[in-house]
Amino acid sequence: MPKVTEAYREARRDEIIGAALRCFSTRGFQRTSMADIIAESGLSAGAIYGHFAGKKELFAAVAARILASRRSELEARRQQGPPLSPGQVMATLIDGMRREPFSGMLIQVWAEAAIDPDMREPVHEVLDIVRATVRTAFAEWAAAEPGRADGDPEEWAARLTPVALGLMPGFMVQRAIAPDFDEDAYLAMLPEALPH
């Protein structure tokens, strides 16, 4: 029997994550079953479960993929000039998230994590990555702009991060339920609303 290479395993994992992302995007997290993901992937149940224990683990993998894209986007913007201001950081992240097919179900996932301890753990892991990314970007800007942030840049960034991250759910909720919500105006206002 031929030996399975690591590259093959990674390609198969990516294929499964892609199928899960398509299912979550069209059906939402709660209404997606493992059977749906198996059917969407065209793979056997054994092939899926050989890589992922279940739907919650697949959610974490989908979220990690999306976050990696957002971090790459922030880094690419950072390479173009000076550190991004807090408002530019948040506008970049939120704009990237709204372009993801997965974004519509974020509200469902956050609500589920609030009441389901099993769901809370993978969501918390993802949130930790987002916090660290945002905090690092904020601290970099504060260090490059002495006098614009109050106190030590690292401590200032740690205080601002949870406040700024609250802007993402606010955007997503309004986008989902307010028919007159102006997404572009919201994003354009972030650099003015946060320290710059």
CATH of the domain at 85: 1.10.357.10
- What pLDDT is recorded for position 111? 82
- What pLDDT is recorded for position 149? 84
Distance CA 67, CA 93 (A): 9
Q: Is residue 99 part of a domain?
A: yes
Q: Is residue 66 part of a domain?
A: yes
Give Dmax over CA atoms of the chain in angstroms: 65
- What pLDDT is recorded for position 193? 93
What DSSP assignment string belongs to 158-184?
A: HHHHHHHHTHHHHHHHHHHH-TT--HH
Query: What domain range is 107 assigned to?
Result: 55-193
Q: Based on the structure, what is the number of domains in the chain?
A: 1
Q: Is residue 24 part of a domain?
A: no
Q: Is residue 18 part of a domain?
A: no
Q: Is residue 3 part of a domain?
A: no
Residue stretches of the chain with pLDDT short of 70:
1-3
- What pLDDT is recorded for position 90? 96
Q: Is residue 36 part of a domain?
A: no
Q: What is the pLDDT of residues 55-97, one digit of tens each?
A: 888 887 887 787 778 888 888 888 888 999 999 999 999 999 8
- What pLDDT is recorded for position 78? 82
Distance CA 48, CA 121 (A): 21
Picking from 53, 63, 55, the residue whose alpha carbon sits closest to that of residue 123 is: 63
Written as six digits, the tokens of 75 are: 């880094």
